[in-house]
Amino acid sequence: MSAHSAPAAPASGIRFERVTVAYGKRGESVALDALDLTVEPGEVMALLGPSGSGKTTALRAVAGFVQPASGRVFIGDRDVTALPPHRRGIGMVVQQYALFPHLRVAQNVAFGLKARRVPRGEIAGRVTEALEMVGMADYARRYPRELSGGQQQRVAIARALAIRPGVLLLDEPLSALDAQLRSGMLAELARLHRELPDVSILYVTHDQVEALTLADRIAVMDRARLQDCGTPQDLYRRPRTEFTASFVGNANLLPVTVGGATPGSVRFADTELTVTGADEPGHGPAPGADATLCVRPHLVGLGEGENTLRGTIAEVQWRGSTHRLFVDVAGHRVKADVRELRETPALGQSVALHFAAHDAVLLPAGTAPQATDPAATRAPAPTPAPDLAAAGVAKGAAPGAGGATDG
Protein backbone atom coordinates (compact mmCIF):
# COMPACT_ATOMS: atom_id res chain seq x y z
CA MET A 1 0.00 0.00 0.00
CA SER A 2 1.29 3.46 -0.90
CA ALA A 3 2.24 5.81 1.91
CA HIS A 4 1.28 8.84 -0.20
CA SER A 5 -2.24 10.15 0.10
CA ALA A 6 -2.26 11.49 -3.48
CA PRO A 7 -0.57 9.08 -5.89
CA ALA A 8 0.47 10.62 -9.24
CA ALA A 9 -1.63 8.31 -11.42
CA PRO A 10 -4.83 7.14 -9.74
CA ALA A 11 -5.41 3.40 -9.84
CA SER A 12 -7.92 2.41 -12.47
CA GLY A 13 -9.81 -0.83 -13.07
CA ILE A 14 -12.16 -2.61 -10.69
CA ARG A 15 -12.23 -6.27 -9.76
CA PHE A 16 -14.91 -8.08 -7.77
CA GLU A 17 -13.68 -11.40 -6.43
CA ARG A 18 -16.61 -13.54 -5.32
CA VAL A 19 -18.12 -10.59 -3.49
CA THR A 20 -21.16 -11.42 -1.37
CA VAL A 21 -23.13 -8.74 0.43
CA ALA A 22 -25.93 -9.59 2.83
CA TYR A 23 -28.25 -7.23 4.67
CA GLY A 24 -30.23 -7.88 7.83
CA LYS A 25 -29.25 -8.64 11.42
CA ARG A 26 -27.99 -12.12 10.67
CA GLY A 27 -27.11 -11.36 7.07
CA GLU A 28 -30.14 -13.33 5.98
CA SER A 29 -30.93 -11.28 2.91
CA VAL A 30 -28.32 -11.72 0.21
CA ALA A 31 -28.24 -8.69 -2.09
CA LEU A 32 -25.12 -9.70 -3.99
CA ASP A 33 -24.24 -13.34 -4.47
CA ALA A 34 -20.58 -14.20 -5.12
CA LEU A 35 -20.07 -11.57 -7.81
CA ASP A 36 -17.04 -12.10 -10.06
CA LEU A 37 -16.54 -9.20 -12.43
CA THR A 38 -13.63 -7.20 -13.82
CA VAL A 39 -13.84 -3.67 -15.21
CA GLU A 40 -10.70 -2.94 -17.20
CA PRO A 41 -8.84 0.37 -16.87
CA GLY A 42 -10.59 2.89 -19.10
CA GLU A 43 -13.60 0.66 -19.64
CA VAL A 44 -17.25 1.64 -19.23
CA MET A 45 -19.16 -1.26 -17.69
CA ALA A 46 -22.92 -0.93 -17.37
CA LEU A 47 -24.68 -2.85 -14.62
CA LEU A 48 -28.12 -3.54 -16.05
CA GLY A 49 -30.94 -5.31 -14.29
CA PRO A 50 -34.41 -5.01 -12.81
CA SER A 51 -35.18 -3.25 -9.57
CA GLY A 52 -33.74 -5.01 -6.53
CA SER A 53 -31.25 -7.10 -8.51
CA GLY A 54 -28.25 -5.80 -6.54
CA LYS A 55 -26.82 -3.10 -8.83
CA THR A 56 -26.55 -0.34 -6.22
CA THR A 57 -25.24 -2.84 -3.71
CA ALA A 58 -22.40 -3.74 -6.09
CA LEU A 59 -21.54 -0.06 -6.47
CA ARG A 60 -21.64 0.48 -2.72
CA ALA A 61 -19.24 -2.39 -2.25
CA VAL A 62 -16.73 -0.65 -4.55
CA ALA A 63 -17.27 2.70 -2.85
CA GLY A 64 -16.85 1.19 0.60
CA PHE A 65 -20.30 2.07 1.89
CA VAL A 66 -21.10 -1.55 2.51
CA GLN A 67 -18.82 -4.28 3.79
CA PRO A 68 -18.90 -7.61 1.92
CA ALA A 69 -19.69 -10.68 4.01
CA SER A 70 -17.08 -12.45 1.91
CA GLY A 71 -14.94 -11.86 -1.14
CA ARG A 72 -12.61 -9.01 -2.07
CA VAL A 73 -12.77 -5.78 -4.03
CA PHE A 74 -9.74 -4.48 -5.94
CA ILE A 75 -9.14 -1.07 -7.44
CA GLY A 76 -6.19 -1.35 -9.77
CA ASP A 77 -4.13 -4.08 -8.13
CA ARG A 78 -4.85 -2.82 -4.63
CA ASP A 79 -7.17 -4.78 -2.34
CA VAL A 80 -9.47 -2.05 -0.99
CA THR A 81 -11.93 -4.33 0.83
CA ALA A 82 -10.95 -2.98 4.24
CA LEU A 83 -10.26 0.64 3.22
CA PRO A 84 -12.63 3.47 4.19
CA PRO A 85 -14.43 5.17 1.24
CA HIS A 86 -12.29 8.34 1.17
CA ARG A 87 -9.10 6.35 0.68
CA ARG A 88 -10.30 4.43 -2.36
CA GLY A 89 -9.75 7.15 -4.99
CA ILE A 90 -13.23 6.96 -6.43
CA GLY A 91 -15.75 9.54 -7.63
CA MET A 92 -19.43 8.76 -7.23
CA VAL A 93 -22.61 10.28 -8.62
CA VAL A 94 -26.07 9.14 -7.55
CA GLN A 95 -29.54 9.71 -8.92
CA GLN A 96 -30.47 12.61 -6.61
CA TYR A 97 -27.66 15.09 -7.27
CA ALA A 98 -26.97 15.33 -3.52
CA LEU A 99 -25.31 18.75 -3.68
CA PHE A 100 -24.90 20.71 -0.46
CA PRO A 101 -27.71 23.28 -0.67
CA HIS A 102 -25.94 25.93 1.43
CA LEU A 103 -22.75 25.85 -0.67
CA ARG A 104 -22.22 27.57 -4.01
CA VAL A 105 -21.40 25.45 -7.07
CA ALA A 106 -17.66 26.10 -6.77
CA GLN A 107 -17.69 25.25 -3.05
CA ASN A 108 -19.55 22.04 -3.77
CA VAL A 109 -16.93 21.02 -6.31
CA ALA A 110 -14.10 22.04 -3.98
CA PHE A 111 -15.51 19.97 -1.14
CA GLY A 112 -13.81 16.68 -2.00
CA LEU A 113 -10.51 18.46 -2.67
CA LYS A 114 -10.49 20.11 0.77
CA ALA A 115 -11.43 16.84 2.42
CA ARG A 116 -8.45 15.25 0.69
CA ARG A 117 -6.16 18.11 1.80
CA VAL A 118 -5.29 19.24 -1.71
CA PRO A 119 -3.05 22.36 -1.31
CA ARG A 120 -5.09 25.59 -1.18
CA GLY A 121 -3.35 27.13 -4.21
CA GLU A 122 -4.36 24.21 -6.39
CA ILE A 123 -8.03 24.06 -5.52
CA ALA A 124 -9.40 26.99 -7.56
CA GLY A 125 -7.74 25.75 -10.74
CA ARG A 126 -9.04 22.21 -10.30
CA VAL A 127 -12.55 23.43 -9.57
CA THR A 128 -12.57 25.49 -12.78
CA GLU A 129 -11.13 22.59 -14.75
CA ALA A 130 -13.84 20.21 -13.50
CA LEU A 131 -16.63 22.74 -14.12
CA GLU A 132 -15.34 23.39 -17.64
CA MET A 133 -15.44 19.68 -18.37
CA VAL A 134 -19.19 19.64 -17.78
CA GLY A 135 -19.85 23.07 -19.31
CA MET A 136 -20.73 24.74 -16.00
CA ALA A 137 -17.84 27.17 -15.47
CA ASP A 138 -20.19 30.17 -15.77
CA TYR A 139 -22.32 28.95 -12.88
CA ALA A 140 -19.60 28.72 -10.22
CA ARG A 141 -21.18 31.32 -7.92
CA ARG A 142 -24.74 30.01 -8.03
CA TYR A 143 -26.46 27.96 -5.36
CA PRO A 144 -27.88 24.54 -6.28
CA ARG A 145 -31.45 25.85 -5.93
CA GLU A 146 -30.67 28.31 -8.75
CA LEU A 147 -29.93 25.48 -11.18
CA SER A 148 -32.08 23.12 -13.24
CA GLY A 149 -32.01 19.38 -12.56
CA GLY A 150 -29.69 18.73 -15.49
CA GLN A 151 -27.32 21.49 -14.36
CA GLN A 152 -27.27 20.15 -10.82
CA GLN A 153 -26.40 16.72 -12.11
CA ARG A 154 -23.55 18.24 -14.15
CA VAL A 155 -22.19 19.87 -11.00
CA ALA A 156 -22.43 16.55 -9.19
CA ILE A 157 -20.38 14.99 -11.99
CA ALA A 158 -17.84 17.84 -11.78
CA ARG A 159 -17.57 17.29 -8.04
CA ALA A 160 -16.84 13.60 -8.63
CA LEU A 161 -14.27 14.39 -11.35
CA ALA A 162 -12.47 17.13 -9.40
CA ILE A 163 -10.62 14.62 -7.24
CA ARG A 164 -9.30 13.04 -10.49
CA PRO A 165 -10.55 9.59 -9.62
CA GLY A 166 -9.30 6.46 -11.34
CA VAL A 167 -12.75 5.00 -10.92
CA LEU A 168 -16.06 6.73 -11.47
CA LEU A 169 -19.21 5.16 -10.04
CA LEU A 170 -22.49 6.38 -11.51
CA ASP A 171 -25.77 5.16 -10.00
CA GLU A 172 -28.63 5.98 -12.38
CA PRO A 173 -27.26 9.50 -12.82
CA LEU A 174 -29.81 10.41 -15.49
CA SER A 175 -32.98 8.78 -14.24
CA ALA A 176 -34.30 11.92 -12.53
CA LEU A 177 -34.04 13.89 -15.78
CA ASP A 178 -36.66 14.09 -18.51
CA ALA A 179 -36.20 12.06 -21.69
CA GLN A 180 -34.76 14.82 -23.88
CA LEU A 181 -32.28 16.03 -21.28
CA ARG A 182 -31.28 12.44 -20.63
CA SER A 183 -30.34 11.90 -24.23
CA GLY A 184 -28.24 15.09 -24.25
CA MET A 185 -26.48 14.11 -21.02
CA LEU A 186 -25.84 10.65 -22.45
CA ALA A 187 -23.91 12.24 -25.31
CA GLU A 188 -22.00 14.38 -22.80
CA LEU A 189 -21.05 11.38 -20.70
CA ALA A 190 -19.73 9.70 -23.84
CA ARG A 191 -17.65 12.80 -24.60
CA LEU A 192 -16.36 12.96 -21.01
CA HIS A 193 -15.27 9.38 -21.28
CA ARG A 194 -13.32 10.17 -24.45
CA GLU A 195 -11.61 13.02 -22.59
CA LEU A 196 -10.76 10.77 -19.64
CA PRO A 197 -9.67 7.59 -21.40
CA ASP A 198 -7.99 6.10 -18.32
CA VAL A 199 -10.93 6.32 -15.94
CA SER A 200 -12.92 3.12 -15.36
CA ILE A 201 -16.63 3.76 -15.17
CA LEU A 202 -19.17 1.50 -13.49
CA TYR A 203 -22.55 2.72 -14.63
CA VAL A 204 -25.70 1.44 -12.95
CA THR A 205 -28.90 1.68 -14.93
CA HIS A 206 -32.02 -0.19 -15.73
CA ASP A 207 -32.43 1.70 -18.97
CA GLN A 208 -31.14 -0.54 -21.72
CA VAL A 209 -30.75 2.39 -24.13
CA GLU A 210 -28.23 4.00 -21.76
CA ALA A 211 -26.42 0.71 -21.38
CA LEU A 212 -26.30 -0.02 -25.11
CA THR A 213 -25.21 3.53 -25.97
CA LEU A 214 -22.52 4.12 -23.40
CA ALA A 215 -21.06 0.83 -22.30
CA ASP A 216 -18.10 -1.10 -23.66
CA ARG A 217 -19.57 -4.10 -21.89
CA ILE A 218 -22.81 -4.79 -20.07
CA ALA A 219 -23.14 -6.94 -16.95
CA VAL A 220 -26.71 -8.21 -16.66
CA MET A 221 -27.88 -8.73 -13.08
CA ASP A 222 -30.90 -10.60 -11.78
CA ARG A 223 -31.77 -11.60 -8.23
CA ALA A 224 -28.35 -10.77 -6.73
CA ARG A 225 -26.51 -12.72 -9.41
CA LEU A 226 -24.56 -11.85 -12.51
CA GLN A 227 -26.51 -13.48 -15.35
CA ASP A 228 -24.46 -12.51 -18.36
CA CYS A 229 -21.66 -10.18 -19.39
CA GLY A 230 -20.55 -9.10 -22.82
CA THR A 231 -20.37 -6.31 -25.36
CA PRO A 232 -23.72 -4.70 -26.21
CA GLN A 233 -23.58 -6.28 -29.68
CA ASP A 234 -22.83 -9.71 -28.21
CA LEU A 235 -25.69 -9.63 -25.77
CA TYR A 236 -28.08 -8.28 -28.36
CA ARG A 237 -27.16 -10.56 -31.24
CA ARG A 238 -26.11 -13.69 -29.36
CA PRO A 239 -27.84 -13.69 -25.97
CA ARG A 240 -27.17 -16.82 -23.93
CA THR A 241 -30.33 -16.84 -21.83
CA GLU A 242 -33.98 -15.90 -22.24
CA PHE A 243 -33.47 -13.34 -19.49
CA THR A 244 -30.75 -11.50 -21.40
CA ALA A 245 -32.66 -11.81 -24.67
CA SER A 246 -35.73 -10.13 -23.25
CA PHE A 247 -33.95 -7.61 -21.03
CA VAL A 248 -31.48 -6.37 -23.65
CA GLY A 249 -33.76 -5.45 -26.53
CA ASN A 250 -37.09 -6.89 -27.51
CA ALA A 251 -37.41 -10.57 -28.39
CA ASN A 252 -39.72 -13.23 -29.72
CA LEU A 253 -39.15 -16.31 -27.59
CA LEU A 254 -40.75 -19.43 -29.05
CA PRO A 255 -40.76 -22.88 -27.43
CA VAL A 256 -39.22 -25.42 -29.81
CA THR A 257 -37.94 -28.99 -29.79
CA VAL A 258 -34.45 -29.53 -31.13
CA GLY A 259 -34.03 -31.88 -34.11
CA GLY A 260 -36.20 -32.55 -37.12
CA ALA A 261 -35.97 -34.23 -40.49
CA THR A 262 -33.05 -32.08 -41.63
CA PRO A 263 -29.87 -31.25 -39.72
CA GLY A 264 -29.95 -27.90 -37.92
CA SER A 265 -33.70 -27.90 -37.62
CA VAL A 266 -36.07 -27.40 -34.72
CA ARG A 267 -39.80 -27.99 -34.46
CA PHE A 268 -42.16 -25.21 -33.48
CA ALA A 269 -45.74 -26.50 -33.27
CA ASP A 270 -46.20 -28.21 -36.66
CA THR A 271 -43.53 -26.25 -38.43
CA GLU A 272 -39.92 -27.19 -39.04
CA LEU A 273 -37.52 -24.26 -38.78
CA THR A 274 -33.79 -24.04 -39.34
CA VAL A 275 -31.41 -22.24 -37.02
CA THR A 276 -27.75 -21.72 -37.87
CA GLY A 277 -25.61 -23.63 -35.39
CA ALA A 278 -28.42 -25.83 -34.06
CA ASP A 279 -26.75 -28.98 -35.43
CA GLU A 280 -23.25 -28.26 -34.13
CA PRO A 281 -22.39 -30.77 -31.44
CA GLY A 282 -21.63 -29.12 -28.12
CA HIS A 283 -23.42 -25.92 -29.13
CA GLY A 284 -26.77 -25.30 -27.55
CA PRO A 285 -29.36 -27.82 -26.47
CA ALA A 286 -29.04 -31.51 -27.52
CA PRO A 287 -31.36 -33.16 -30.07
CA GLY A 288 -34.75 -33.95 -28.57
CA ALA A 289 -34.38 -31.27 -25.91
CA ASP A 290 -36.80 -28.43 -25.36
CA ALA A 291 -35.31 -25.08 -26.25
CA THR A 292 -36.31 -21.51 -26.88
CA LEU A 293 -35.89 -19.89 -30.24
CA CYS A 294 -35.09 -16.18 -30.04
CA VAL A 295 -35.59 -13.88 -33.00
CA ARG A 296 -35.68 -10.09 -32.81
CA PRO A 297 -38.91 -8.45 -34.10
CA HIS A 298 -37.04 -6.28 -36.62
CA LEU A 299 -35.56 -9.43 -38.19
CA VAL A 300 -39.01 -10.90 -38.87
CA GLY A 301 -40.39 -9.96 -42.29
CA LEU A 302 -43.81 -10.12 -43.86
CA GLY A 303 -44.33 -12.82 -46.52
CA GLU A 304 -42.77 -16.21 -47.13
CA GLY A 305 -39.05 -16.89 -46.83
CA GLU A 306 -36.39 -19.23 -45.48
CA ASN A 307 -38.34 -19.97 -42.30
CA THR A 308 -42.05 -19.30 -42.75
CA LEU A 309 -44.62 -18.96 -39.99
CA ARG A 310 -48.31 -18.72 -40.83
CA GLY A 311 -50.82 -17.02 -38.59
CA THR A 312 -53.44 -14.33 -38.21
CA ILE A 313 -53.06 -10.65 -37.38
CA ALA A 314 -54.01 -10.02 -33.75
CA GLU A 315 -52.94 -6.40 -33.47
CA VAL A 316 -51.24 -3.68 -35.47
CA GLN A 317 -49.35 -0.74 -33.96
CA TRP A 318 -48.23 2.15 -36.11
CA ARG A 319 -44.94 3.60 -34.87
CA GLY A 320 -44.15 6.24 -37.43
CA SER A 321 -41.41 4.68 -39.53
CA THR A 322 -42.46 1.12 -38.73
CA HIS A 323 -45.48 -1.00 -38.08
CA ARG A 324 -45.39 -3.55 -35.31
CA LEU A 325 -47.50 -6.56 -36.19
CA PHE A 326 -48.67 -9.01 -33.54
CA VAL A 327 -49.43 -12.29 -35.26
CA ASP A 328 -50.94 -15.36 -33.61
CA VAL A 329 -49.03 -18.42 -34.80
CA ALA A 330 -50.06 -21.83 -33.42
CA GLY A 331 -51.22 -20.29 -30.16
CA HIS A 332 -48.20 -18.00 -29.75
CA ARG A 333 -48.00 -14.30 -30.40
CA VAL A 334 -45.13 -13.29 -32.70
CA LYS A 335 -43.98 -9.67 -33.04
CA ALA A 336 -42.71 -8.33 -36.35
CA ASP A 337 -41.42 -4.79 -36.87
CA VAL A 338 -41.74 -3.99 -40.54
CA ARG A 339 -41.17 -0.84 -42.60
CA GLU A 340 -44.28 1.31 -42.58
CA LEU A 341 -46.97 -0.45 -44.63
CA ARG A 342 -49.05 1.44 -47.18
CA GLU A 343 -52.10 -0.57 -46.24
CA THR A 344 -52.67 -1.65 -42.68
CA PRO A 345 -53.53 -5.35 -42.55
CA ALA A 346 -56.94 -6.14 -41.10
CA LEU A 347 -57.31 -7.89 -37.77
CA GLY A 348 -57.88 -11.59 -38.31
CA GLN A 349 -56.26 -11.54 -41.75
CA SER A 350 -54.06 -14.56 -42.58
CA VAL A 351 -50.40 -13.67 -43.10
CA ALA A 352 -47.04 -15.33 -43.53
CA LEU A 353 -43.96 -14.20 -41.63
CA HIS A 354 -40.40 -15.23 -42.27
CA PHE A 355 -36.93 -14.94 -40.78
CA ALA A 356 -33.44 -16.05 -41.80
CA ALA A 357 -31.79 -19.05 -40.11
CA HIS A 358 -28.76 -16.95 -39.15
CA ASP A 359 -30.98 -14.36 -37.42
CA ALA A 360 -32.33 -16.88 -34.93
CA VAL A 361 -30.59 -17.95 -31.73
CA LEU A 362 -31.33 -21.13 -29.82
CA LEU A 363 -31.42 -20.72 -26.03
CA PRO A 364 -31.72 -23.23 -23.21
CA ALA A 365 -35.36 -23.49 -22.10
CA GLY A 366 -36.30 -22.22 -18.65
CA THR A 367 -33.93 -19.27 -18.48
CA ALA A 368 -36.73 -16.74 -18.64
CA PRO A 369 -36.94 -13.64 -16.45
CA GLN A 370 -38.71 -14.22 -13.17
CA ALA A 371 -41.09 -11.32 -13.61
CA THR A 372 -42.31 -12.44 -17.01
CA ASP A 373 -45.05 -15.01 -16.95
CA PRO A 374 -44.30 -17.50 -19.76
CA ALA A 375 -48.01 -17.34 -20.57
CA ALA A 376 -47.51 -13.75 -21.63
CA THR A 377 -46.02 -14.90 -24.92
CA ARG A 378 -48.99 -17.17 -25.54
CA ALA A 379 -52.05 -16.05 -27.42
CA PRO A 380 -54.55 -14.75 -26.67
CA ALA A 381 -52.34 -12.57 -24.54
CA PRO A 382 -53.37 -9.35 -22.90
CA THR A 383 -52.57 -6.35 -25.06
CA PRO A 384 -48.77 -6.03 -24.93
CA ALA A 385 -47.58 -2.98 -23.07
CA PRO A 386 -46.30 -0.10 -25.16
CA ASP A 387 -42.58 0.40 -24.97
CA LEU A 388 -42.16 1.85 -21.53
CA ALA A 389 -38.57 2.88 -22.04
CA ALA A 390 -39.57 4.86 -25.11
CA ALA A 391 -42.21 6.63 -23.08
CA GLY A 392 -39.56 7.64 -20.56
CA VAL A 393 -40.75 5.23 -17.88
CA ALA A 394 -37.49 3.63 -16.98
CA LYS A 395 -37.63 3.09 -13.24
CA GLY A 396 -39.04 -0.29 -12.36
CA ALA A 397 -40.07 -1.16 -15.91
CA ALA A 398 -40.72 -4.86 -16.29
CA PRO A 399 -38.12 -6.91 -18.14
CA GLY A 400 -39.00 -7.16 -21.77
CA ALA A 401 -41.02 -4.00 -21.71
CA GLY A 402 -38.15 -1.81 -22.81
CA GLY A 403 -38.21 -2.18 -26.55
CA ALA A 404 -36.94 1.28 -27.35
CA THR A 405 -33.79 -0.03 -28.98
CA ASP A 406 -35.56 -1.85 -31.74
CA GLY A 407 -38.93 -0.21 -31.64
Residues that bind ligand ATP (CB under 6 A): 23, 29, 31, 49, 51-57, 206
Cβ-closest residue to Mg ion? 56
Q: Is 166 left (phi over 0), alpha (psi -120 to 50) or beta?
A: alpha
Q: Is 55 or 323 the residue whose CB approaches ligand ATP more closely? A: 55
Q: Is 67 or 383 the residue whose CB approaches ligand ATP more closely? A: 67
Q: Is 55 or 335 the residue whose CB approaches ligand ATP more closely? A: 55
Phi/psi of residue 335, nearest 5 degrees: -100, 135
Q: Is 95 or 246 the residue whose CB approaches ligand ATP more closely? A: 95
Give the range of 52-60, 107-115, 288-296, 337-345 binding Mg ion by CB under 5 A. Answer: 52-60
Residue 192: strand, helix, or coil: helix
DSSP-assigned letter for residue 280: S
Beta strands per DSSP E along 319-365: 322-329, 332-339, 350-355, 360-364
Q: Is 49 or 165 the residue whose CB approaches Mg ion more closely? A: 49
CA 153 to chain centre: 20
Q: Is 203 or 326 the residue whose CB approaches Mg ion more closely? A: 203
Q: Which amino acid is at 85?
A: P
Q: Which residues contact 231 (CB under 8 A, 6 or more apart)?
A: 216, 217, 218
Residue 51 CB, nearest approach to Mg ion (Å): 7
Q: Could you give the CA distance from residue 256 to residue 267 in angstroms, rounded to a whole number?
A: 5
Residue 396 CB, nearest approach to ligand ATP (Å): 7
Q: How many C-beta neighbours within 10 Å does residue 392 have? A: 15
Give the range of 56-64, 177-185, 280-288, 300-308 binding Mg ion by CB under 5 A. Answer: 56-64
Residues in the chain: 407
370 binding partner (options Mg ion, ligand ATP, none; Cβ < 5 to 8 Å by kind): none
Residue 47 CB, nearest approach to Mg ion (Å): 9
Note whether 95 binds Mg ion by CB under 5 A. no
Q: Are 259 and 266 in contact (CB under 8 A)?
A: yes
Residue 66 CB, nearest approach to Mg ion (Å): 12
Q: Are 27 and 184 in contact (CB under 8 A)?
A: no
Residue 336 CB, nearest approach to Mg ion (Å): 35
Q: Could you give the CA distance from residue 406 to residue 130 in angstroms, rounded to a whole number?
A: 36
54 binding partner (options Mg ion, ligand ATP, none; Cβ < 5 to 8 Å by kind): ligand ATP
Q: Could you give the CA distance from residue 91 to residue 59 in angstroms, rounded to a whole number?
A: 11
Residue 56 CB, nearest approach to Mg ion (Å): 3
Query: Using the rule CB under 5 A, which residue among 56, 151, 205, 246 binds Mg ion?
Result: 56
Nearest to 59 by CA among 207, 220, 210, 168: 168
Q: Could you give the CA distance from residue 362 to residue 7 in angstroms, rounded to a whole number?
A: 49
Residue 392 CB, nearest approach to ligand ATP (Å): 16
53 binding partner (options ligand ATP, Mg ion, none; Cβ < 5 to 8 Å by kind): ligand ATP
Give the range of 55-63, 108-116, 152-160, 340-348 binding Mg ion by CB under 5 A. Answer: 55-63
Size of the site for Mg ion (CB under 5 A): 1
260 binding partner (options Mg ion, ligand ATP, none; Cβ < 5 to 8 Å by kind): none
Dihedral sign for Cα atoms in the order 192, 198, 204, 208: positive
Residue 45 CB, nearest approach to ligand ATP (Å): 15
Please list every residue from 14 through 43 that binds Mg ion, using CB under 5 A: none
Please list every residue from 113 through 142 that binds Mg ion, using CB under 5 A: none
261, HSE (Cβ side, Cα atoms, 13 Å): 4
Which residues of the chain form contacts with Mg ion (CB under 5 A)? 56
